[in-house]
Amino acid sequence: MPRGSNAAMRRLAFLAVALLAASLPRGQEPSLRLAPDLVAAPGTVEMHFAAPPDAHALVLITDRGADRTVVLPGIGGALRLAQPFAILGPLRGGAAATVPVPQAQPAGPLHAQALVLHRGRLWFDAVATATVVRLSIQRVSRPRPPQGEWRVNVGQHLEVRAVLEPAPLAGAATFTWRLHGPHLREYREDVAAPFRTVAMQPADYRNQDLACYLLPAAIQRHPFAIGPLPRLVAVRADLRGARFHAHRLLEVERNTRHADLQAEDFYVEYNHVEAQGHGMPPTRVLNEHAGWHVQHDWLLFPECGPQVRGFAGFLDFHHRFQERFAAWRETFGFPPLQPWDPGTPIPRGPLHDHAGRITGDPLYPLPGYLRVAGGTVASKCFRRTSLLEFRDLAELSVDTFEPWHNGVHARVGGDMGHHATSPKDPAFWRFHEFLDREVYQRWLSHR
């Protein structure tokens, strides 16, 4: 159709609207109602339309897009609307229908309008307004390089949030989460009590945020590490009678390839972050280890004085410290800790590597006075020459701690060089596993 004909059609149509709206009999006016008041995008909005029984109508939905040409049934030509609309119809009077809300529809007001053709006359109804609500899932706890946004390691704290747009509506909503696959709410690792896990409760799935730790699938437990495997996390929001849904696929793995995504990284550095203060490290595990040493190390100065008796808990504390990590590793499917003899090089590979060490080969073997067979060199403080000569834990703890234990830490260097950071290094746990088995447990077994 020529451009001039379209312009003429527009002018005639809008003139007809002005004239015929006034001539439509009272009681015959069409009405339009949106139900419910809130609609999701993508999704549907329910339209209730009432008009004279012999009328035909179009319900027009704004989409904030470009101007759109609408072909009216029963009228030749086309009418270019002043505002952009999408079409529903034609509908006979008294009908109700659901209208798809396009994916591109942004959150915010949604406008609808009825266009009525009644006995050859055209009439526009008043505009009705609803709100397009979008529900999405966002990750709160940040991924660790080189993970992607939605890749999660077993044993890593996961926190996701249901986000409603427009934001002010979120406070009036109730949320229900679903997370496929095994997971738990929390665990306790401090040495004051046995290691324990805390299961999720129904109330934990009814908050705007969902926080948990992902447990491995059977094929991700040591000696297997199949993955990453997909897991669905989904949320439903109920808001003023309307219901919205969103979901995400997580990629869950037990990483065996990258040195910064191992058990020590999550257990020591990433999980249970606490507020820093007074120079203490930022996680619960680091705080507990540093706190013990801050409280007790002063008892060794001056060395061999009577106050060293207060240092007797050194071996017992680290035994329980090791036990908690061993239980955590078993819970999340990691291989058991293997001891490392510091008289040999530190093993290489993703499970053992750590940045910043001075050396991987301290070559500082267990001295003879800490062995059952004994040796010719006496211990520094109590002058013992055999493990079996130590009369109590205070003596054994002091002469284990200095110089041999401290010497291993210093020779490895880096994080191992200070009690506030040493548990970050995988060598710490393997060294203390060796110390626990070869010194503490052997001494206890001969009591």
Sheet bearing 174-179, strands edge to edge: 151-153, 242-253, 229-239, 174-179
Give tens-digit pLDDT for 356-383. 999 878 899 999 999 999 999 999 999 9
Return the minimum-mean-pLDDT range out of 29-38, 246-255, 327-336, 388-397.
29-38
* Residue 270 predicted with pLDDT over 90: yes
Residues 6+ apart with CB under 8 A from 307: 299
Residues 6+ apart with CB under 8 A from 305: none
Q: Are 309 and 397 in contact (CB under 8 A)?
A: no
Helix axes 314-331, 426-435, angle to 10 degrees: 120
Task: Tell me the CA distances in angstroms from 30 to 51, 52, 267, 373, 398, one per residue in order.
Answer: 4, 7, 65, 102, 92
> Residue 11: phi, psi to the nearest 5?
-65, -40
Residues 6+ apart with CB under 8 A from 41: 101, 102, 103, 105, 106, 107, 132, 133, 134
Q: What is residue 140's predicted lDDT score, i.e. its pLDDT?
A: 93
Q: What is the pTM of this model?
A: 0.82
Q: What is residue 123's predicted lDDT score, i.e. its pLDDT?
A: 67
Strands 174-179 and 69-70: unpaired
* Residue 417 predicted with pLDDT over 70: yes
Q: Are 77 and 170 in contact (CB under 8 A)?
A: no
* Spatial separation of the C-alpha atoms in residues 58 and 51, rounded to whole Å: 11
Grouping H, G, I as helix, E, B as strand and the rest as coil, residue 425 is coil
* Residue 27 predicted with pLDDT over 60: no
Q: What is residue 70's predicted lDDT score, i.e. its pLDDT?
A: 43
Residues of the chain with CATH 1.10.1280.10: 263-445
On the CB side of 392, CA atoms within 13 Å amount to 7
> Quick one: pLDDT band at residue 65, thresholds 50, 70, 90?
very low
* Spatial separation of the C-alpha atoms in residues 392 and 443, rounded to whole Å: 10
Pick the CATH number of 3-132 from 3.40.50.1370, 1.10.10.10, 1.20.140.10, 2.20.130.20: 2.20.130.20
Q: What is residue 296's predicted lDDT score, i.e. its pLDDT?
A: 95
Residues of the chain with CATH 2.20.130.20: 3-132
* Spatial separation of the C-alpha atoms in residues 345 and 314, rounded to whole Å: 25
Q: Are 381 and 304 in contact (CB under 8 A)?
A: yes
Residues 127-134: what's their mean pLDDT? 77
Cis peptide before 182 (omega within 30 of 0): no
* Residue 199 predicted with pLDDT over 90: yes
Question: What is the distance in angstroms between the CA of the first residue and the CA of the last residue of the chain?
Answer: 105
Residues 195-213: what's their mean pLDDT? 98
* Residue 60 predicted with pLDDT over 50: yes
The CATH-assigned architecture of domain 263-445 is Orthogonal Bundle (1.10)
Give tens-digit pLDDT for 275-317. 665 555 689 999 999 999 999 999 998 889 889 999 999 999 9
Return the minimum-mean-pLDDT range out of 48-52, 58-62, 126-130, 397-401.
58-62
Give tens-digit pLDDT for 226-241. 999 999 999 999 988 8
* Residue 172 predicted with pLDDT over 70: yes
* Residue 411 predicted with pLDDT over 90: yes
Residues 161-190: what's their mean pLDDT? 93
Q: Please provide the average confidence, as pLDDT, over all residues in the chain.
A: 83
Give tens-digit pLDDT for 90-109. 555 555 656 666 677 778 77
Residues of the chain with CATH 2.60.40.10: 140-253
- Structure tokens of 115? 């266009």
Pick the CATH number of 140-253 from 1.10.10.1100, 3.30.70.360, 2.60.40.10, 2.40.50.100: 2.60.40.10
* Spatial separation of the C-alpha atoms in residues 368 and 382, rounded to whole Å: 14
